């Protein structure tokens, strides 16, 4: 029975292994799109963004105005690296940490949106651990050197 289970597992692994680079790419693009869109929303309504950072968000340690600028810059710049697969692990790590800060800083997310942040966190953590996959600039650069 154990031999049958092992053989079945080997068959599934062989059949699904070619999908790993696609899964890693989809994860990177999905999370990059979410965070980049959030940054675009902040830029589109900067007065509202400043209001939210001053009165609604509770970002620890740094002043609200600095948090608004740093947060928006992070959401507009880091996802581009993640989508391209350039400096992928550091970019995914930054967004993973940023995601945690977002949840901690905005208690309204604890009821609505928490599941999304958990999912994005898992996708980012998988990217940090597994890397960008074959479909990434990092991989291309590594193979050139």
pLDDT at position 109: 82
Tokens 């959401």 belong to residue: 75
pLDDT at position 6: 94
pLDDT at position 108: 84
Radius of gyration of the chain from its Cα atoms, rounded to whole angstroms = 19
Residue closest to 65 by CA, chosen among 76, 77, 78, 49: 49
pLDDT in tens, 32-84: 999 999 999 999 999 999 999 999 999 999 999 999 999 999 999 999 999 99
With residues binned 3-state (H G I as helix, E B as strand, rest as coil), the percentages for the chain, rounded to 5, are 85, 0, 15
pLDDT in tens, 16-35: 999 999 999 999 999 999 99
> What's this model's pTM, rounded to 2 decimal places?
0.91
Residue 24 and residue 128: Cα distance in Å, rounded?
A: 11
Domain limits of the chain? Answer: 21-144
Angle at 110 between CA 79 and CA 68, to 5 degrees: 45
Residue closest to 38 by CA, chosen among 88, 87, 106: 106
């Amino acid at each position: 029975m154990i031999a049958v289970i092992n053989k079945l597992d080997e068959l599934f692994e062989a059949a699904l292994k070619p999908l790993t680079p696609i899964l890693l790419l989809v994860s990177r693009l999905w999370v990059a799109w979410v965070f980049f869109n959030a940054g675009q929303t902040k830029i589109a309504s900067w007065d509202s963004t400043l209001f939210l950072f001053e009165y609604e968000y509770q970002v620890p340690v740094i002043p609200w105005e600095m948090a608004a600028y740093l947060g928006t810059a992070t959401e507009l710049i880091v996802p581009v690296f993640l989508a391209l697969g350039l400096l992928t692990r550091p970019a995914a790590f930054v967004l993973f940490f940023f995601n945690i800060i977002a949840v901690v800083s905005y208690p309204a997310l604890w009821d609505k949106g928490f599941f999304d942040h958990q999912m994005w966190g898992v996708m980012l953590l998988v990217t940090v651990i597994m890397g960008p996959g074959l479909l990434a600039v990092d991989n291309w650069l590594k193979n050139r050197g």
